[in-house]
Structures are given as C-alpha cells and as structure tokens.
Structure 1
Amino acid sequence: MASPALERRLGLGDAVALGLGSMIGAGVFAVWAPAAHAAGSALLVGLGIAATVAFANATASAQLAAVHPTSGGTYAYGRAELGPWWGFLAGWSFVIGKTASCAAMAMTFAAYVAPPGAERVVAIIAVLALTATNLLGVTRTALLTRVVVVVVLIGLAVAVGGALAAPDAEGRLTGIPYGGDLYGVLQSAGLLFFAFAGYARIATLGEEVRDPQRTIPRAIIVTFAVAIVVYVAVGVGVLHALGPDGAASSADPVATAATTGWPWAGPIVRVVAAAASLGALLALIAGIGRTSFAMAREGDLPRALAVVHPTRHVPHRAELALAVVVVALVATIDLRGAIGFSSFGVLLYYVVANVAAWRQHGEARRYPRALQVIGAAGCLVLACTLPWPSVAIGAATVAIGIVYRIVRLRIGDHRNCPR
C-alpha cells in the first residue's frame, strides 16, 4: 500500500509567514554582538554583504522552485539539475546545519525564560512541544507561525523605537573600536547570514503549497524584502543606541538598545525574543523534517523516514527522528558555536542552489546568471571566513555524510550483483 501523499494546503500568506518565522527569529536578537565584535563600526557593511549574497541565493531558490515544486528544496533541485551527488551535498549540508540551529534556537529561548540551572530542561520541553505542534499538521504550523511573526514584528518595532529615542546616541554610528578590517567584515557577514537563511524553509514545502510555480517564488522574494527592511532597522537602531563597542559587549543588544530610550521596553523585547526563538524553531522543524523525508524517499537517508502520516499528512517519522537528535544535542553539548557551524552548512547548501540555477535556461530562467555567480562565490568566501572551529567541524561532518553515501551505494551495488 502506497504511503499517503503530502497535501497542498498552504497559500501565499502561509508561505510568507513560515519564511518570516524562520528569518525573523532568534538570530535578529542574538547575532549583533558577535558581528559587531568582528566588524566594529563596519557592521552595516557586513550586513550589506550578507544581504547581497542572500538576495542572490533567494533568486536562485525562487527560480528553481518554480520549475521543481517538490519537497526537499535544493536537495531536490540539485538532484534534478546536477545529479544525485550534488543533491546529496545540499541536503546533508542543510540537515546538519539546521539541526544545529534547532538546538541553538531552543537554548536561546530557554536563556530568556528559564530560571538559572533549568535552561536545558526548558529547551528540551520546547523542542518536544513544537514537534508535537508540527505533527498535528502543517496548517496549524502556519497558523501558529503567523501569530509569532506578528508578535515579533511589534516587539522589534518597540525595540527600534526605543533605540532611536536614545538621548545620548550622537556619534555612535561613526566610532571604530575594532578597526573594521576586511576579514572581520567578511566574518560578520557570514555570521549575519545565519539570520537570513530562513527563506529556504519555503522551498522545502514545495509539495504542500497551492499553485507552487507562482506561490513559492513570490513568497521567497516577499519574505526576503520584509526581512531586510527589519534587519537594517534593527542594525541601525543597535548601533545608534550602543555604538559598536556597546553592541559587541552586550549579551542582549536589542533589549539593551531599546532600554536606552525607553526603559520600560526591556521586558517586552525579552519576551518577544523568546517568542521569536520559538517561531524559528517551529519553522525549522517543519523544513528539516521535509528535507529528511525527501532524502529518505531517494535512499540518501534511511527509507524508514520516508513515511507520511495517514491522517495528518506530515512526515512524522522524519520529524520524530529530528526531535530525538535535537534533544540529545541540547542535553549534552555547549552550542555557543552553533551559529558558525550552522552558517557553514547552509552556505554550502546555497552553493549547490546557485550552481543548479546557473544551469537552467530557456523559459526556466527568471534572473541573470550573474546573480548566481555572485551567490556561489559569495557563499564560498563567507564559509571560508567563518571562525576556524566551525569550518573544521563542518567540513568533517560533511565528509562523514559523503563516506556514508559511498558505503550505502557500494552495499547496494553488491546486493544487485548477479550471483
């Protein structure tokens, strides 16, 4: 008996909400401190570089999604346009990078709301609760994400307003406490890219979106446009209120910036930051579950994961397996370096997306090939300028995946040999 298929239940608003829920999450509250430490007053230059690379990636994803409206995102696009190995590299990079992001989002949420000593327990509860929400069905995921997005945007508006109202902020945008060398600017761009990568979640829902050839490209571009406006506003506000040195030294720069102008705004921003972490975690679980489902369907992950629930129409085994791995990470590992590791995996994912989009021609082509060149080259440069432990661990994990696939293929060839 064939496994039930995923159902096309999501419209443009749902897809945009899921994308924003992934992009405007914990990253917009947490990424400014390490980025400011790397780039100093050139933080906004790093943001501009990250946005340029992310825009190129967004157009590549939109172009590919219009032709390949299927689950799996660049994993599916890479297989279709370039071959199975390219698809596997994209899918594996996405899964490992975003699994680390899930753990980081859960622990960020717990850092804002949990009493001292209970952070890991609260983070685990958050993972289990949001996995259960996803298992109820993707339309419920989209509805909850809409609510979270609205709350986060209101909270960020309060934060920006408080930051810009700071009475003693003159001149802070022009201070250069860290020198702002090119390597630091590029490293800040790689770290800031972590916050931009959420629009990939829209593409992974290709089999659950109505009229995907139109809806997915539009949703990706709309999501990116809204996110860049929000990030620029928050970045300017943080620098205006705190300056680069204050942003770099703050554990919660957005909340701290808000209180410089409006002292009452701090608790509101912290609550919103917790909500943003939950929104990003919710969307991440949905996206990774569907990429894992697509990879299992092709045999690149255990085929037992390629099962859709008969009534909820969600890839429940893939999402349950993800929850087990994330809980294990939260319970055992210090994830302060998870942003760099996640960025490494996601940047490799988009290298494949840009190469695949560059290969398209004729009616499939929607954007100039120059954008794909900028996207691929930019991803490689940013990946190489991330903190070296993130690069080393990321490269080793990618190598493990490649060895796994080689062994699986050889076992399959051996079984298929005539006796």
Structure 2
Amino acid sequence: MRQGVAMATASEHHADGTDRRLLLPGAVGTGLAATVGAGLFVVLAPAAATAGDHLVWAVLLAGALAVANAASSLRLVAAGRPRPGTHAPVRDRLGVPWGHLAGWAHVVASIAACAALAQTMGLHVLPDWSKVFAAVAVVAALGLHLQGIDRSARGEQVVALLVAVVLVVFVTILLTTPPVLTDAPRDPEGAGGPLGVVSAAGFVVFALTGHQRLVDLRDRVSDPARTVPRAIALSLGIVIALHVLVTVALTRTLGTGWLAAREAPLAEAAEISAWPWLGPVVRIAAVLAAGGVMMSLLLSAAGEVALMARDRHLPTSLATRVGPSLVPRRAVVVVAALTLASVVLVDVRQAIAFASSCVLVHFALVHASAWTLDRRWTRRVVPVLGVTGCLVVAVLLPWQSVVAAALVLLLGATIGWVRHTTRE
C-alpha cells in the first residue's frame, strides 16, 4: 500500500533550471513503483484463509475497488482547486470534519501499512526475529529521512521493473514445473463463499492502493489531464494482472490450504520449485519492494500530517518543514514512533487488516465527495457503488481489526469535530 503527498522541492528541477516533469512512461513507472510487490509477497496468505478456492475472485473484487477509487479521485481532483493533501478535496466537498476524518484515516492507515511492510521485510530476512528486523528498518528509514535522503524516482522505477520481472519468472516456473507436495494441507475450514471472498478482498486492497501517488503528484506530470488517467490505467492494469497471475499460479499448484498457512508464501513456494535458487531472489525482491514503499509511505504520512497541521486539523507545531528538501521532521518522528509501536503490538496480518479497514473508509469518503459533483444519476453510479462496496468490505474484515479501526477513527473524528467547533 503507497500514497504520496506532493511537495515542492529543489529536486523537482534539473540543475539547469528546467522543469523535471514525468511523461507517460515515467508516470507509469512511478505508479508501478508505488504498488508492485508492496503487499503481494504476504497478503495472499490471509486472503486465502478466508476466500479458499475462490481467492482469484477476491483479487478481482479488490482490483475493482481500486479502479473505482481511482475514477472518483480523478474526478474529485479535476473538479476542485489544486490543493495538496488527501484531506483537502474531501473537506472542500463535505466540510471540515469529514475532511479531517479523511486525512486521519489516510494517516493511520499509512502508519499501519508501514508496520506491515517493515514486518514483511523481517519475514523475508529473519523470520524468527521479524519484529526486531522491522524495528531496525523503521529506525533506519527515520534516520535517512531526517537527513533528507530518499530514493530517486529512477531508482524506484528500476526496482519496480526488476520486481515485476521476478514475479513473471516465478509464475512461469510454478505453472510449467509445479512442485509436488507429499502431504498437501487441506483448504481452510469455513473458507470460501460470498462473505469469504468479500472479506479476502479487504486484505488484497492493501496491495493495490499505490495509484493514489499519481493523483497526488499530478503537478509533476506533463499534461496531467491526459497523462495521469492513462498512467493510472496502465499501472493498475499491470499490477492487477500480476496479482491474478500469482494467485492462479499458487492456488493451482500448491492449493489455498498451503497458501493460507504461509508467512512468506511466494518465497517459500519458490524455494520448493524446480528452481530453488529462485527463493533467495524472491526474498531479495520482497525486501527491496517492501522497503522502498515503506520508506516513501513513511514520508508520505508525515507529509499529510504536516499539511493537516498547517490547516489546523492537528497541532500546528507538526507543520514545520526544514532543510533543502523541506522535510517535516517533527511529523516524521511522530509517524515513525507510532509505526514502531504498531510493529510491537500487532503482527503483519493484523496490521494489514487494520490498514485496509482505514483505507477503505478513506475510499468511501472520496466516493461520497465525488457523488456531490454531478446530480445526473449516470455520474453517481460509481460513487454509490464505491461507498457501498468499500464499507461492506471494511466491515467484513476480521472483527478485531474492524473494532480497533472504528475506535481509532472515532477518536480522529472527535478530535476533528472539537477543533472545528473551537477554532476562531
């Protein structure tokens, strides 16, 4: 899961002063870098535990939710003033409290996603010490951001391309020379059925939310009215296709019972394939993908915190930016501290479920905002279906994560309402 907040920095320009704007290939690469591999290396395991043999339908449903959100987000951005922050369009259409809730949902979802991605790295490097590795990764990312160091866009795109190639090779090997299990686990009991598919889609949504970064970086894209929709369509299409291919390869060769019992299913499947050397390659790809997205998402969440603080949704002290890259250091420290707490308190599946619950609420608010743009019923079909679908999927996630998300979002809504009613 990766959502970015555009910040005007000196790095947006070449040394000769020319504007560095993304063309379609670069925009597609950015979209892929924000999504491909971020959650795919772990998310299919908890999804298989609820969807069973119908897992591919859960992936397609999650893809439909992501596409619908992209459509509403683009309409909302095109109709409003170009203002940074995921909370701003919702606030402009629905009011300050709802805008605050949208921003709050985005921030807490990003924090949980960072915790899940950090633990994903740990599960692929030191499975028995995954939380320790995750904590070290978060601290390292914090240190880099405080120094104003981040990955280049070109580096992100290269890593995304390499990860995509590894996934294609993985699928090819698994389908052409499937591994033989001497004692294949049974399919999860109680899995499957419409409710299981819908619940599983909630997990998969976690891995398909990177398209928002292109919406937020529209000011850095050449001819954004044409390039951004095309880039989102291409990058989302590629990512959904990769998820479907990996899902089919795993379920047809190893079964959903085996898949549901894994912590790092792709790496473990590669290790028992005809090419066992592919296992370490998949683990490296997982670390690169999850680590890169975690780093960017940490800064993105801090950027959203700073923007909300600037707009007085949060304490204004968090809005301060320093250095040539205008890093919101106080906000970065707060987000990193909360991410570390999440790493300690919850495991990777719980973090994914919590993050998905919150991001689906954010999606629902985006759809509700898009609903206000046009009174024609033909223009309200996607927002209505989007709101309904997002809320239903969110509610059907594991109840512990749903309750935790509801309490955290209620806290955020209360803070937003109090600040709204007491502001001058």
Q: TM-score, normalised by structure 1?
A: 0.86
Q: CA deviation at 1:229?
A: 1.4
Q: Which amino acid aligns with 1:45?
A: W
Instruction: State the distance in 2 between where 1:250 and 1:152 align.
Output: 20
Whether 1:388 and 2:405 are equivalent positions in the alignment is no
Q: CA deviation at 1:314?
A: 3.8
* Corresponding residue number in structure 1 for 2:381: 370
Contact 1:66 1:216 in 2 (8 A): no
Which residue, out of 321, 325, 328, partners 1:315? 328
Is the alpha carbon distance of 1:331 and 1:139 closer, same or farther for their aligned partners in structure 2, counting shifts above 3 Å? closer
Q: CA deviation at 1:305?
A: 2.1
Contact 1:38 1:187 in 2 (8 A): yes
Which residue, out of 349, 355, 359, partners 1:342? 355
Q: CA deviation at 1:53?
A: 1.5
* Corresponding residue number in structure 2 for 1:148: 159
* Corresponding residue number in structure 2 for 1:231: 243
Deviations 1:227-275 (A, max 9, x none): 1111111111111221122212222221233333422211111111111
* Corresponding residue number in structure 2 for 1:357: 370
* Corresponding residue number in structure 1 for 2:17: none
Instruction: State the distance in 1 between where 2:222 and 2:83 align.
Output: 12
Q: Which amino acid aligns with 2:262?
A: S
Contact 1:33 1:249 in 2 (8 A): yes
* Corresponding residue number in structure 1 for 2:258: 246
Q: CA deviation at 1:89?
A: 1.4
Whether 1:104 and 2:116 are equivalent positions in the alignment is yes
* Corresponding residue number in structure 2 for 1:284: 297
Instruction: State the distance in 1 between where 2:382 and 2:399 align.
Output: 28
Instruction: State the distance in 2 between where 1:310 and 1:248 align.
Output: 46
Q: CA deviation at 1:404?
A: 1.6
Which residue, out of 77, 89, 101, partners 1:77? 89
* Corresponding residue number in structure 1 for 2:207: 195
Which residue, out of 189, 198, 201, partners 1:186? 198
Q: Secondary structure of 2:32's match?
A: helix
* Corresponding residue number in structure 2 for 1:270: 283
Instruction: State the distance in 2 between where 1:351 and 1:106 align.
Output: 27
* Corresponding residue number in structure 2 for 1:6: 8
Q: Secondary structure of 1:192's match?
A: helix
Q: Which amino acid aligns with 2:411?
A: I
Instruction: State the distance in 2 between where 1:76 and 1:325 align.
Output: 23
Whether 1:43 and 2:55 are equivalent positions in the alignment is yes
Instruction: State the distance in 1 between where 2:240 and 2:339 align.
Output: 29
Q: CA deviation at 1:114?
A: 3.2
Whether 1:218 and 2:220 are equivalent positions in the alignment is no
Q: Which amino acid aligns with 1:394?
A: A
Q: Which amino acid aligns with 2:207?
A: A
Q: What stretches of structure 1 of length at least 5 have no aligned partner?
A: none
Contact 1:62 1:220 in 2 (8 A): no
Q: CA deviation at 1:163?
A: 1.2
Q: CA deviation at 1:184?
A: 0.8
* Corresponding residue number in structure 1 for 2:15: none
Instruction: State the distance in 1 between where 2:144 and 2:226 align.
Output: 28
Q: What stretches of structure 2 of length at least 5 have no aligned partner?
A: 1-6, 13-19
Instruction: State the distance in 1 between where 2:216 and 2:179 align.
Output: 46
Contact 2:302 2:328 in 1 (8 A): yes
* Corresponding residue number in structure 2 for 1:66: 78
RMSD (Å), alpha carbons: 2.8
Whether 1:128 and 2:139 are equivalent positions in the alignment is yes
Whether 1:404 and 2:415 are equivalent positions in the alignment is yes
Is the alpha carbon distance of 1:35 and 1:229 closer, same or farther for their aligned partners in structure 2, counting shifts above 3 Å? same
Q: How many residue pairs get matched?
A: 400
Contact 2:368 2:383 in 1 (8 A): yes
Is the alpha carbon distance of 1:335 and 1:244 closer, same or farther for their aligned partners in structure 2, counting shifts above 3 Å? closer
Question: Aligned residues: percent identity?
Answer: 37
Structure 1 residues 18-37: aligned runs within 5 Å = 18-37=30-49
Is the alpha carbon distance of 1:409 and 1:254 closer, same or farther for their aligned partners in structure 2, counting shifts above 3 Å? same
